[in-house]
Each structure stands twice: as structure tokens, then as C-alpha cells.
Amino acid sequence: MDDFHCVRFETPAEFFEATKSYDDSFMNWGIGSLNDFLRKANGCVDHGTLLLGIFRAEALLLTLTKENPHAPWKLCVPCCAQDHLDAEIQVIVITLLCSSLLAQIGPSAIDQVSGPEGLVTAFLTAWIALLGSRGRRLHLVAPIFSWAVSYATRASLPPLCSGTSAGGFVTLAAEPDAVTIAPLHVNFVMTSPWPGTITRDEAVAFLARTISARLTWVYRKDDEVAGYAILGRVTPRTISLRNMYVAPQHRRQGIAEAMVRAITRYYLGVLPSGAEHVEGSPSVGIKEEVNLLVEDPGAERMYQRAGFLFPDRTGEVLSGGHDPTTGRKAWYHAVWRDIEPEPSH
């Protein structure tokens, strides 16, 4: 293990510098979430911000980050590390990560962890075994959430469609739209696979910020907002399509697909994008990848048609799902898991 080492970054700036050449959609969950947190906090670092990376010589193999005490740990592996993280190396990396966490942060360091399913489960299993050897008995809890991650690039985009049967158009939201979109956003928050609660006033305030940042999109139909989408987790090379919601009365008309296609093309800098009344380049710059998380496997086909590199699940064996430029796997299944103390007898 002489060439493997764990680095604990003291500042986000150090972390961003060390990961800048690994900024891809597989790293967006960690890098982008940290960026979002810092923007909301006006750049102030929380005392609970913890940032670690495992390297082999100079090559980054994975990161484990926690942007604030209330967030889950985020375990990320860059796309290029797929070529190096075989079963044997994975054991070495996880063993090193566990021992480093115990030495640097302590036995209470780990609670909820999110990231690639196999790696998260292997890491938590190793952590439980390590603490068990020291007399602290823990057990794995069933996944809290699960989802699939993939991305689109310029090379993966299909030809632009002429429109939808709904008869509307996709455009950036304007300031007055915050009030109009708020009821849709409240419904999205309450009915999402990660349900929460939000008041109308809180929704308006949140939307005002994302609209001001030019990260909120709407589908307008007959002077009505039929659906909306919000982008986030912005990094120098990537951006994530985070919220996508169509009002129930406007569903099954191709609105969601039209929005995904136009928004993806716009942030990838591909013209025509399919968006209307939108001038200039993205406020966050043109990106090399647009990524998203999908909780419902049934929705993957729609995203595939828009250029996202999910695999074909129609046969007995998965097929496709590879980056047309690099040939690497372009998706992964992710989980959010927790550990708990064993009940006392």
C-alpha cells in the first residue's frame, strides 16, 4: 500500500484544486453538492465540512465528502477510475479509507453514506467490521433511497425534434414566474421520492434565487406554466438537471421530454437548442456534460431519447449505456444507506 494514500483537505479550495482534472458527472454528486452549499452559505465553510480523497500515487481513485453536518457522506469515483478500481484495489482503498477516518475523525465519523451501490455497501461493511473489532457493534440498514445516474454529452445527443403535441414552448423562467411556479414546486417537494415539506412562501423565495441565477426553466402553454425544471450542482465541466415537474393535467403530452431536450442542448452549447426567447450563453458557462439522477427506472427511456446514456433494460441482459467518445460505462446505480447500533440484549 506504499503508493496509496489518503488526503484530508483543509479547505474547499484545496479540494477543488485536487479534483479539477476529475470533474465529471460521476464526481458531480460530491463536487457539485459542495459548490451548491458554498453558494448558499456565501462561501462560508461549515465546521462540519469534511473532505477526503484516496490517491494511488498522483491518481485520484475516490472522494468522500460531507459539506455540512446534516448532509449524508457522498462517496464518488471519477469515470476514469473505472479503469483502475478492480476488486483487489477496491479492498485496499476501502481499508485505507476506513483506517484514515477512524484515526482522523473518530469512531462516530460515519452515519449515512450515498454513492455507487456496490462501493457504498462494501465501505459500510468494512467500517462495521473495523468498529466491531474494537467492541462497537453496528449493523447496516436497508437503503433509504436508490437511483440511477447518467449523463449526456454533445456526442450522445439525438437530432432536435420539431416540437411536442402540447403546443407550447420551453424557455427560461422570468422573475414573476416565482409565484406561478411555487404551487408546482410545493407539489414536487411533497411527492418526490425524497419527500419533504415546504411552504408557499419558502418556495417563492427559493425560486426567486434560482430564477435570478438563470437556472429555472418553464414550459409555457397558452400563457400557463405547464411544467418547470431547475438546474444545480454546477461545476466547471458539468451541471445537473435536478427538479423536473409537469402539472398533472398536462402530463403524457411530451412536455417533460421537450424540456429535457432543450435544456440539455442549451447547457451543452448545441444550437438550435429548442428553447425559445433565450438569448446568449448559459450564465454558468457551456458544459461538457449534463447529468441527472433518476429514481424511477420507467423514466429512463424518456431520458435515453433525449441523449442520456442509460442502458437498455428491455432484454434479459443490460446493453448500451457507454460513452460514445471514451467507451466507458456512462451510468451507475446509487444508494443512500445508514448504519445503526446493534440492539442491546
User: Is the separation of the CB atoms in 27 and 19 below 8 Å?
Assistant: yes
Contacts of 157 (CB under 8 A, 6+ apart): 264, 265, 268, 270, 306, 307
CA distance 192 to 77: 26
Q: What is the pTM of this model?
A: 0.94
- Give the chain's largest Cα–Cα span: 66
DSSP structure class, residue 80: G
CA distance 250 to 222: 12
Q: Under CATH, to which class is 4-149+332-341 assigned?
A: alpha beta
User: Is the separation of the CB atoms in 155 and 324 below 8 Å?
Assistant: yes
| pLDDT value of position 141 | 93
- pLDDT band for 211, please (50, 70, 90 cuts): very high
Mean pLDDT confidence for 198-209: 96
The string over 116-135, giving b where at least 16 C-beta atoms fall within 10 Å of a residue's C-beta and e elsewhere, is bbebbbbbbebbbebbeeee
CA distance 199 to 185: 10
Same fold, 4-149+332-341 and 154-287: yes
Task: Summarize pLDDT for 273-312 with one digit per residue, the tens.
Answer: 888 889 889 999 999 999 999 998 889 999 999 999 999 9
Assign a CATH topology to domain 154-287.
Aminopeptidase (3.40.630)
| pLDDT value of position 277 | 85
Task: Summarize pLDDT for 57-86 with one digit per residue, the tens.
Answer: 999 999 999 999 889 999 999 999 988 889
What mean pLDDT value characterizes the chain?
A: 93
- Dig out the grid coordinates for 285 from the structure: 458557462
Task: Give residue limits of the domains in the chain.
Answer: 4-149+332-341, 154-287
Return the SS3 of 213: coil
Whether the CA torsion 265, 270, 276, 281 is positive or negative: it is positive
Which amino acid, residue 113? V
| pLDDT value of position 196 | 80
Nearest alpha-carbon partner for 16 in 42, 53, 55: 53
| pLDDT value of position 165 | 62
- pLDDT band for 44, please (50, 70, 90 cuts): confident
| pLDDT value of position 109 | 86
